[in-house]
Chains A and B, each alone.
Chain A
Amino acid sequence: MTLIRNLLSGVVFAAMAALPAVAASASEVTIAIGSEPSTLDPQQRDDGGERAINDNIYETLMARTPAGELVPGLAAAAPTQIDATTWEFKLRPGVTFTNGEPFNADAVVASVTRIIDPALKSEQMSYFGTIKSAEKVDDVTVRIITTGADPILPSRMYWMKMVPAAYSKDPNFATAPVGTGPYELDSWSRGESVVLKANPKYWGGAPAIDQVNYRFISEPGTRMSGLMAGELDVITNLLPEFVASVPKSEAVQGLETSVIILSTENPTVKDLKVREALNLAVDRKALAESLFSGYATPTKGQLVNPRAFGYNKALEPYPYDPEKARALIKEAGAEGKTITLVGEAGRWLKDRELIEAVGAYWDAVGVKTDIQINEFGEYLNQLFDKAKRPDAIFVVNSNELLDADRETSFAYQAGGTATSNTDKELAEWVIAARTETDVAKRQALYDEVTKKAHDNYYLVPLLNQQDIYGFSKRLDWKPRVDSKLLVKEMKVTEE
């Protein structure tokens, strides 16, 4: 081995001189993300690569603890409600952007006005559609006005990054970002890397790590090789089967939950007994163990994320009971009937495997599952088609705002983006919950929504997936429930 190594070293001797700086310095980390940011404008696109970097440069009025609890960020305290449509935020005083601009009420008004301006063509509008305007009260007080009552507004403000009032109009803003956060941009070589350096004047104290290098690697095998070769310190979306091969790994309950949405109108699946059987037929625990090596949690009878507001703690998980499922199918006269299960492949972790496994479980209790794996665009056409719902369609829902409004308006409320039931009463509850400002009443409404959908088997909720990260030996970090890669929380130990 030594001989081979020496020989090869000789062959590529010239190349060696140009080896990349291996992540070595104690105060420097290298993070691999799946895709290069399309822009570094924090308000324009809905893009994971952009977020991974800008989450360290920009900040928001509200923030979350690693466990997901909503806490004040750039706001000095939780907002107070003036009336049904007005929220007042007191701002943290004395914060400045890294270009010297002050963070004050003007900056908040500018940030809100900018993102809801149609001229920005922001893809983030699906998070901020309810916001009408923002008004300055005094330098550290600002009011945000919504079109209707909006109890989710504090969560929304956890998603809206605050930009400097003047500089955000600069044409270079999208490539040379300026925020209030713990890091500022050092350089961006397109296609190659983004480098951030610590903001020494950060109001929360200078972070422990001085420099962050981001690299863009979409192929999971290549990401893992980079970690094993010592080039990388953090990789995201580590495949469960690779966990044993990396120096260190951490997993945390993630934002994504897989589900199959059943139509209440189509023949066969419109029968409640059939829908119950399709739920009882699936061994979620076995799926979590075999497909995800245990890095997934079986859902408890609902699609709502367990960390989200509105999660129904009282619901029982659907048991795995193939005997009863078979009996129900027989009773409903659905034996040998075809059920079309629509899905896609490659968009979400192990999507095809999951769909095929569920299809096999369904076949085992007596129905015939016709699995249709479609190209993503065509799959979306079917997912969004209001007139013609598939018998069953697979989707993975991600709840960024950690509020049950996301799941309930997406897959529970009749007429929702991916809903396949026509339950008017349920839809009214979802709408009522969206504007209910009393926290206890709102939780009660969601408990009713999820209970009714549970008892009517509108959905086949599958697994709540965990996010798995791979680390180098020297890196120390507890991943967050909200999937944000906050470098200020990371530490490196001396080797």
Chain B
Amino acid sequence: MGAFLLRRIFQGMLVVLGVTLVVFVATRMVGDPAKVMLPLSATDAQRAAFNHQMGLDRPLGAQFITFVGDLSTLDFGDSLWQRRPAIQIVFERLPNTLALIGLGLGLAVTLSLPLGALAALRPGGVADRVVVFGGLFGLSLPQFWLGLLMIMFFAVTLKILPTSGVGGPSHYILPAVTLAIPSLARLMMLVRSSVIDELNQQYVRTARAKGMRFHTILFGHALRNALVPFLTLAGWEFISALAGYTVVVETVFAWPGLGLTAMKAIERSDLFLLQAIVFTVAIMIVIVNILLDVLYKLIDPRIKLA
């Protein structure tokens, strides 16, 4: 286990470095900050002066050496947009996004297991039909529209929840639910199909034949075996949310999270902030992947960690 962890951490560091290098090159190839940030009326000379002041007219190699040198102290330079350390902005916004993902995904995970299992007990039954219909419905709703619809209903018509922004606990409800719905739908459908598969396995019939109680079979075996693909999907949901899928929800609910910040950094060609965001997200994805591997092993001891 120890050797495995060390190996994975080393591999993870390579991944993070690779991603950062790609971002470094890509951001410098695509956008010209002076063009995007200065007023349209600025002259070419003023644009050139701006790039010079920001050190963006130096040769790419020299810029890269500075970049890697500063990386060791987590210094990503000052954001062009906010004129303060980029990493400071990331640390300010990351908790907001993590809280949203934690709540939304927590909701999706806790509801999807019982609902999916319930549907699987009698495929084609009433509960199953409701779950399948609800799942397809949840999957086909555009999040953007769903968010606005919930605002209109709960905040404007009923006036029981705030429309947007951060503040008290009530501000979390609508964005977290909006974020949860597609994930809940996907996870619920997966639990349903895996449990149906498991319940049709030979070992289930054997267990029932020898008189084992059904809920022991369901919870002790079928659901446990169904947990491995479930964990993979839940991990994917977490990673994709972190990698930017929260941006729609953050936009609709004016939520000051990392996704919205990343989008604004792209809009403004803020390379320094973008690098800091991608670096942080890459590290978190690597950590989540390592944790998932460890969890697999705990659930299913047959899995070999390589």
Report A's interface with B, CB cutoff 8 A: 4-5, 8-9, 12, 14-20, 35-36, 38-39, 41, 44-46, 118, 121, 123, 125-127, 129, 174, 190-193, 215-219, 221-222, 225-226, 228-231, 376-377, 380-381, 383-384, 395, 397-398, 400, 406, 409-410, 417-418
Contact = CB atoms under 8 A, between A and B. Distances in A.
7 contacts: A4-B158, A129-B43, A191-B166, A221-B252, A222-B253, A410-B41, A417-B44
Contacts of A222: 148, 151, 163-164, 252-254
Given A219-B251, A225-B152, A18 B167 contact: yes
Contacts of B161: 12, 15, 19
B164 A18 contact: no
Given A215-B254, A410-B40, 12 more contacts: A4-B158, A5-B160, A15-B161, A15-B170, A20-B168, A41-B83, A191-B96, A216-B165, A225-B151, A377-B35, A380-B32, A406-B41
A225 B163 contact: yes
B255 to A, nearest CB: 8
Interface string B95-129: 01000000000000000000000000000000000
B30 interface: yes
B7 interface: no
A9 B160 contact: yes
B53 interface: yes
A46 B50 CA distance: 13
Interface residues of B, number: 55
Interface in B41-57: 41-44, 46, 49-50, 53-54
B205 interface: no
A406 B31 CA distance: 25
B197 interface: no
Contacts of B254: 215-219, 222
B260 to A, nearest CB: 8
Contact of B256 (A36, A121, A174, A226): A36
B31 to A, nearest CB: 4
Contacts of B260: 218
A18 B170 contact: yes
Contacts, number: 160
Interface in B121-140: none
Given A123-B38, A215-B254, A222-B163, A18 B83 contact: no
B39 A16 contact: no
B36 A377 contact: yes
Contacts of A228: 156
Contact of B41 (A17, A35, A417): A417
B211 interface: no
B84 interface: yes
Contact of A12 (B40, B83, B160, B269): B160
B208 interface: no
The 4 A-B residue pairs with the shortest CB-CB distance in the complex, in nearest-first order: A18-B168, A191-B256, A15-B170, A126-B42
Contact of B158 (A5, A126, A395): A5
A218 B170 CA distance: 21
A383 B84 CA distance: 30
